[in-house]
Amino acid sequence: MTQSRVLVIGGGLAGLSATMRLAELGVHVDLVSLVPVKRSHSVCAQGGINSVNAVTRQQGDNEYKHLDDTVYGGDFLQHQPPVKEMADWAPRIIDLMDRLGVPFNRTPEGFRDQRRFGGTLYKRTSFAGATTGQQLLYSLDEQVRRWEAEGRVKKWEFWDFLEPVMDDDGRCIGAVCQDMVTMKFKAFSADAVILASGGCGLLYGRSTMSMICTGSAVSRAYKAGVKYGNAEFIQVHPTAVPGADKLRLMSESARGEGGRVWVPRKAQDARDPKDIPVAERYYFLEERYPEYGNLVPRDIATREIFDICTTDGLSVDKDRLCVYLDLTHIPRETLDRKLGGILEIYEKFQGVDPREAPMKIFPAVHYSMGGLWVDYEKSETGGLLEGSPRNQQTNITGLYAIGECDYQYHGANRLGANSLLSCIFSGLFCASGVIAGAKKNTRDETSPDFVSAVKRQEERHQAILSRPVGDSNPYDIHRQLGDIMTRTATVVRRNEQLSQAYDEVCQLENVWEHCSLSDTGNWTNQNVIFTKSVGDMFPLAKLILKGALLRDECRGAHYKPDFSMPGIAATEPAEQKAEAERWCDRFEENTRKWLKSTIGVHGDDGHPVITYEDIDTTLIPPRPRLYGLVGGEVIEQVWKERSEKATEPVTVG
Amino acid sequence: MISASTSTIPEVEPEEKRVPQEIRVRVLRQDAPSEESYWQQFAIPYEPNMNVISVLQRIAAIAKSQDGRRVPPVAWDCACLEEVCGSCAMLINGRARMACSSLVDNLFEETPGEIELRPLTKFPVVRDLSVDRGRIFNSLERVKAWVPVDDSYDHGPGPRISPEEQEDAYPLTTCISCGCCMEACPQFNKIEVVQREGETADDFDARKQTAYDEQFLGPHAISQAVLFNSHPTGSMNSDERMQALTGRGGIQMCGNAQNCVAVCPKRIPLTRSIARAGRAATVWAIKKFFDR
Ligand SMILES: Cc1cc2nc3c(=O)[nH]c(=O)nc-3n(C[C@H](O)[C@H](O)[C@H](O)COP(=O)(O)OP(=O)(O)OC[C@H]3O[C@@H](n4cnc5c(N)ncnc54)[C@H](O)[C@@H]3O)c2cc1C
Ligand code: SF4
Ligand code: SF4
Ligand code: FES
A44 to B84: CB separation less than 8 angstroms, yes or no: yes
> Tell me: the pLDDT tens digits for B241-289?
999 999 999 999 998 888 999 999 999 999 999 999 999 999 998 988 8
Domain boundaries B133-151+159-291, corresponding CATH code: 1.10.1060.10
Q: Which pLDDT band, with edges at 50, 70 and 90, does A2 fall under? A: low
Q: Are B50 and B73 in contact (CB under 8 A)?
A: no
pTM reported for the whole predicted model: 0.94
Going by the DSSP 8-state scheme, the letter that residue A380 receives in this structure is T
Q: Which pLDDT band, with edges at 50, 70 and 90, does A291 fall under? A: confident
What is the ipTM for the molecules in this complex? 0.93
Q: Are B88 and B53 in contact (CB under 8 A)?
A: yes
The superfamily CATH assigns to domain B19-127 is Beta-grasp domain (3.10.20.30)
- The reply to whether A146 falls in a domain is yes
B145 to A145: CB separation less than 8 angstroms, yes or no: yes
In 3D, which of A575, A576, A593 has the Cα closest to residue A629?
A576
Note whether A268 and A213 are same-domain residues. Answer: no
Q: What's A319's domain CATH number?
A: 3.90.700.10
Q: Which pLDDT band, with edges at 50, 70 and 90, does A353 fall under? A: very high
Note whether A250 and A212 are same-domain residues. Answer: no
Note whether A209 and A276 are same-domain residues. Answer: no
Q: Give the DSSP per-residue string, A581-634.
A: HHHHHHHHHHHHHH-EEEEEEE-TTSSEEEEEEE---SSS------TT-TTHHH
Q: Please report, for chain B, how many H helices and E strands are present, in that order.
A: 11, 7
Cβ-in-10-Å burial (0-12, 13-18, 19+) of A5 comes to buried
Provide CATH 3.10.20.30 ranges for chain B: 19-127
- The chain-wide mean pLDDT, for chain A, equals 94
- The reply to whether A106 falls in a domain is yes
> Is A298 noted as a catalytic residue in this protein?
yes
What pLDDT is recorded for position A193?
98
φ, ψ at B86 (rounded to 5°): 80, 10
Last residue of one domain, picked from the residues A407, A423, A449? A449
- The reply to whether A293 falls in a domain is yes
Residue-level length of chain B:
292
φ, ψ at B118 (rounded to 5°): -135, 155
What pLDDT is recorded for position A559?
95
- The reply to whether A135 falls in a domain is yes
Q: What's A511's domain CATH number?
A: 1.20.58.100
Between strands A192-195 and A399-401, the pairing is: parallel
Residue A209 clears pLDDT 50, i.e. is over it: yes
- The reply to whether A558 falls in a domain is no
Note whether A92 and A128 are same-domain residues. Answer: yes
In 3D, which of A104, A134, A12, A107 has the Cα closest to residue B231?
A104
Going by the DSSP 8-state scheme, the letter that residue A415 receives in this structure is P
Q: Are A32 and A156 in contact (CB under 8 A)?
A: yes
Residue-level length of chain A:
653
Find the CB nearest A149 among B72, B141, B170: B141
Question: Which residues of chain B neighbour A96 with C-beta distances below 8 Å?
Answer: 152, 154
What pLDDT is recorded for position B2?
36
For A276, the domain range is 238-363
> Tell me: the pLDDT tens digits for B147-167?
999 999 999 999 999 999 999
B85 to A352: CB separation less than 8 angstroms, yes or no: no
CA distance linking residue A392 with residue A398, whole number of Å: 10
Dist. CA A211 → ligand 4 center (Å)? 10
Question: Which listed residue (A220, A298, A414, A625) is catalytic?
Answer: A298
Residue A650 clears pLDDT 80, i.e. is over it: no
Residue A627 clears pLDDT 80, i.e. is over it: no
A360 to B70: CB separation less than 8 angstroms, yes or no: no
Count: domains in chain A: 4
Q: Which pLDDT band, with edges at 50, 70 and 90, does A292 fall under? A: confident
Q: Are A511 and A464 in contact (CB under 8 A)?
A: no
Find the CB nearest B154 among A92, A131, A143: A92
> Tell me: the pLDDT tens digits for B80-95?
999 999 999 999 999 9
Q: Are A103 and B169 in contact (CB under 8 A)?
A: yes
φ, ψ at A286 (rounded to 5°): -65, -40
What pLDDT is recorded for position A141?
98
Note whether A204 and A293 are same-domain residues. Answer: no
Q: Are A347 and A298 in contact (CB under 8 A)?
A: no
- The reply to whether A255 falls in a domain is yes
Question: Which residues of chain B neighbour A210 with C-beta distances below 8 Å?
Answer: 79-81, 85
Q: Please report, for chain A, how many H helices and E strands are present, in that order.
A: 18, 21
CA distance linking residue A390 with residue A384, whole number of Å: 10
Going by the DSSP 8-state scheme, the letter that residue A406 receives in this structure is B
For A552, how many CA atoms within 13 A lie in the half-sphere containing its CB?
6
- The reply to whether A615 falls in a domain is yes
φ, ψ at A155 (rounded to 5°): -95, 140
What pLDDT is recorded for position A299?
81
Note whether A57 and A198 are same-domain residues. Answer: yes
Return all residues near A110 (Cβ < 8 A) that are at least 6 apart: B160, B161, B162, B163
Find the CB nearest B158 among A99, A212, A273: A99
Provide CATH 1.10.1060.10 ranges for chain B: 133-151+159-291
Q: In testing the pocket of ligand 1, which one of A8, A30, A42, A216 has its CB within 8 Å of the most ligand atoms?
A: A42
Ligand nearest to the CA of B88: 4
Note whether A92 and A19 are same-domain residues. Answer: yes
- The reply to whether A629 falls in a domain is yes
Atom of ligand 4 nearest to the CA of A211: 1
Q: Which pLDDT band, with edges at 50, 70 and 90, does B198 fall under? A: very high
CA distance linking residue A532 with residue A177, whole number of Å: 13
CA distance linking residue A156 with residue A598, whole number of Å: 34
